[in-house]
């Protein structure tokens, strides 16, 4: 009987949607009311028959589960009257039945379907019951903090971890599956035993939070607090590739949509440079084009808004991974982010930190990298022409640069070098043990001249090699 109702409803829904999109005049209102009444009558039966989050109940009817969830999603978007245009008592029970599927490994490949359905239902709450919408956001933030604790336990095997969540949002909801109903009747129980369960669950909850922030910024922005942001970012230490991308996207949204300065810039940049530093013999298995793009967008957001002190603290770490990451990634977004970060480092740090010779080496990558233009512009404006010429002369790996000067190329042993630029000849070589004070007074530090010896001309380098 349930299968017949499901097939009939899907068929009728498709006809109604097709009719509404093909005819400019509105349908008969009485027809819509009749369809809404029918949906309200049949949907509870379909939910009880198919949408059962326990793996034993849903393993044999995955196709029917997905069909019902898609039906709910289409109905919420096209016939909101079925859910009384966002009445919490009509929306919350359905959300309660869908959420636990995020912790079901059996449905992992179809989690996007459940996400779309919950997103459609939350859109109804945003327009019809904003207090309930805000409460869902608050409970989701608490859930992320609790999930971080579950992740730190790293429970596998015979032990079982069940988390009670959304106690306020689902308060008063009685129509819950038996496996997900707490003994006190308050909230929702979700089995988060093992990484195969809690990682995808945390991933999609974080995506729902990002969706709420993007589409309902005015309603939830003031609810964000630092402990939640810290917990969400800390999931980078425990997550897989999908959870990492959810964290990157979330940080990007926090940094662009909200005005709160609560992002842990230092730890996030250090985490990203650590991930990039793992790129030794090739990309790690969890990194692909989508992953690098998400990471690049996040890194760009961090470096465009973080304080100058954070840039200086993380400068050496990012420069160390700059060259190899730029050459191996296929993501344009990550290349842009790396070059933008490098350019900002060059603006606030001394040259011995950001190593201008890396820019010359970057030109020898097999594929051109247009974002490097910004790096060269900053380097030229920061160093000046004489300093840049000295850098070229000391780059041992780039001897081909010497061939750019035809006069130098034609010089033979025993001949005098032609005088081409008196300003260049006036440059004095620095002694190795000479102490120099960094130009940036805010750093308040001195360093031995391990880099200043590179300030020799191309000609000096050529002569030194001939004398030896």
Residues with Cβ within 8 Å of 126's Cβ and at least 6 positions away in sequence, in order, are 86, 133, 215, 216, 219
Tell me the pLDDT tens digit for each residue of 401-442. 333 333 333 434 344 444 444 444 444 444 334 443 333 433
Low pLDDT (below 50) residues in the chain:
25, 396-468
Kindly state whether residue 244 falls inside one of the protein's structural domains.
yes
Tell me the pLDDT tens digit for each residue of 112-153. 999 999 999 999 999 999 999 999 999 999 999 999 999 998
Domains contained in the chain, number: 1
Kindly state whether residue 240 falls inside one of the protein's structural domains.
yes
What does residue 455 show for φ and ψ, rounded to 5 degrees?
-80, 60
Helical pair 372-383 and 332-348, crossing angle rounded to 10 deg? 10
pLDDT value for 383: 84
Structural domain boundaries, residue 2:
1-255
pLDDT value for 28: 61
pLDDT value for 21: 53
Kindly state whether residue 409 falls inside one of the protein's structural domains.
no
CA distances for 311 relative to 319, 349, 395, 427, angstroms: 11, 9, 26, 32
Kindly state whether residue 414 falls inside one of the protein's structural domains.
no
Kindly state whether residue 458 falls inside one of the protein's structural domains.
no
What's the angle, vertex CA 237, arms to CA 195 and CA 302, rounded to 5? Answer: 135
8 Å CB contact between 385 and 458: no
For residue 163, the cross-strand partners are 190
pLDDT value for 285: 77
pLDDT value for 384: 74
pLDDT value for 221: 83
pLDDT value for 419: 46
230-233, Cβ contacts within 8 angstroms, sequence gap of 24 or more: 230/264, 231/144, 231/145, 231/148, 232/144, 232/206, 233/263, 233/264, 233/267, 233/268
Kindly state whether residue 213 falls inside one of the protein's structural domains.
yes
pLDDT value for 94: 95
Kindly state whether residue 451 falls inside one of the protein's structural domains.
no
Helical pair 88-98 and 62-78, crossing angle rounded to 10 deg? 150
Query: What is the per-residue DSSP string for 397-433?
Result: T-GGGGGG-HHHHT--TTSPPP---HHHHTPPPPPTT
Kindly state whether residue 183 falls inside one of the protein's structural domains.
yes
pLDDT value for 228: 95
């Amino acid at each position: 009987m349930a299968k017949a109702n499901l097939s009939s409803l899907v068929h009728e829904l498709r006809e109604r949607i097709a009719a509404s999109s093909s005819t400019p005049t509105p349908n008969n209102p009485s027809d819509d009311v009749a369809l809404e009444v029918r949906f309200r009558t049949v949907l509870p039966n379909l939910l009880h028959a198919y949408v059962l989050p326990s793996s034993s109940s849903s393993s044999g009817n995955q196709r029917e589960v997905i069909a019902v969830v898609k039906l709910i999603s289409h109905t919420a978007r096209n016939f909101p009257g079925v859910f009384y245009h966002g009445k919490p008592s009509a929306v919350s029970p359905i959300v309660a039945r869908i959420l636990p599927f995020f912790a079901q490994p059996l449905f992992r490949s179809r989690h996007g379907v459940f996400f779309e359905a919950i997103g459609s239902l939350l859109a109804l709450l945003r327009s019809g019951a904003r207090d309930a919408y805000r409460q869902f956001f608050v409970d989701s933030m608490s859930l992320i903090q609790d999930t971080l604790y579950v992740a730190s336990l790293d429970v596998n095997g015979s032990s079982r971890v069940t988390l009670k969540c959304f106690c306020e949002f689902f308060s008063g909801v009685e129509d819950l599956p038996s496996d997900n109903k707490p003994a006190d009747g308050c909230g929702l129980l979700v089995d988060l035993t093992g990484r195969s369960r809690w990682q995808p669950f945390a991933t999609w909850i974080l995506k729902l939070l990002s969706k709420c922030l993007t589409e309902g910024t005015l309603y939830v922005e003031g609810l964000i607090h630092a402990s939640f942001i810290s917990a969400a970012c800390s999931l980078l230490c425990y997550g897989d590739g999908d959870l990492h991308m959810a964290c990157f996207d979330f940080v990007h949204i926090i940094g662009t949509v909200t005005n709160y300065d609560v992002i842990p810039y230092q730890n996030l940049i250090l985490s990203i440079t650590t991930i990039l530093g793992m790129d030794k013999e090739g990309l790690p298995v969890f990194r692909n084009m989508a992953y690098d793009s998400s990471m690049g967008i996040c890194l760009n957001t961090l470096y465009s808004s973080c304080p100058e002190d954070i840039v200086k603290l993380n400068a050496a770490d990012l420069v160390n991974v700059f060259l190899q990451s730029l050459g191996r990634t296929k993501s344009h977004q990550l290349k842009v982010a790396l070059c933008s970060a490098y350019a900002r480092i060059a603006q606030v740090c001394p040259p011995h930190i950001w190593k201008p010779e890396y820019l010359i080496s970057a030109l020898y990558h097999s594929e051109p990298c247009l974002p490097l233009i910004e790096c060269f512009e900053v380097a030229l404006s920061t160093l000046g022409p004489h300093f840049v010429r000295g850098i070229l002369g000391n780059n041992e790996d780039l001897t081909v640069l010497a061939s750019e000067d035809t006069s130098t190329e034609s010089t033979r042993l025993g001949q005098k070098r032609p005088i081409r630029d008196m300003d260049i000849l006036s440059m004095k070589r620095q002694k190795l043990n000479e102490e120099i004070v960094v130009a940036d007074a805010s750093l308040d530090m001195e360093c031995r001249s391990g880099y200043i010896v590179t300030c020799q001309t191309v000609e000096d380098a050529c002569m030194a090699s001939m004398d030896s």
